[in-house]
Structure 1
Amino acid sequence: MNAIQTAEFARALYSAHGDKAEAEAAHKMQECEAAGNSDKVQDWKAIRQAIRALRGPNQS
């Protein structure tokens, strides 16, 4: 997944789930880890970081 796709996916997920979007991305990341899909783990990690950036500072 490239940076543009990651940003678009993060925005869509944040729009759909609001403050729970980062937790949703973390959950998907864990599912992919359990399945042994390291490529998808990296995608979800990048999406999670993009969501964190969208939320802004002091929104942990």
Structure 2
Amino acid sequence: MDALQTAQYARALYTVHGDRAEAEAAQKMRECEAAGNRQEAQDWQAVRQSIRQMRGPNQG
């Protein structure tokens, strides 16, 4: 998955799931790892990182 696709997936996931989007991407990553789909797991990891960047630093 290229950077543009990663950003599109991240944006769509964040739009649908809001603050839970990063957790959703992490779950998908774990499912892919468990199924032996290494490349797809790496793609989900990249989506997760992109979501983290969109959210910005934790404020509190």
The match for 1:19 is 19
Counterpart amino acid of residue 23 in structure 1: A
TM-score, normalised with respect to structure 2: 0.95
TM-score, normalised with respect to structure 1: 0.95
Q: What is the root-mean-square deviation in Å for CA atoms of aligned residues?
A: 0.8
The count of corresponding residues between Structure 1 and Structure 2 is 59
After the TM superposition, which parts of structure 1 deviate over 2 Å for at least 4 consecutive aligned residues? Answer: none
The match for 1:43 is 43
Structure 2 gap segments, 5+ residues each: none
Distance, in Å, in 2 between the alignment partners of 1:23 and 1:52 is: 10
The match for 1:53 is 53
Distance, in Å, in 2 between the alignment partners of 1:30 and 1:58 is: 24
Structure 1 gap segments, 5+ residues each: none
Counterpart amino acid of residue 51 in structure 2: I
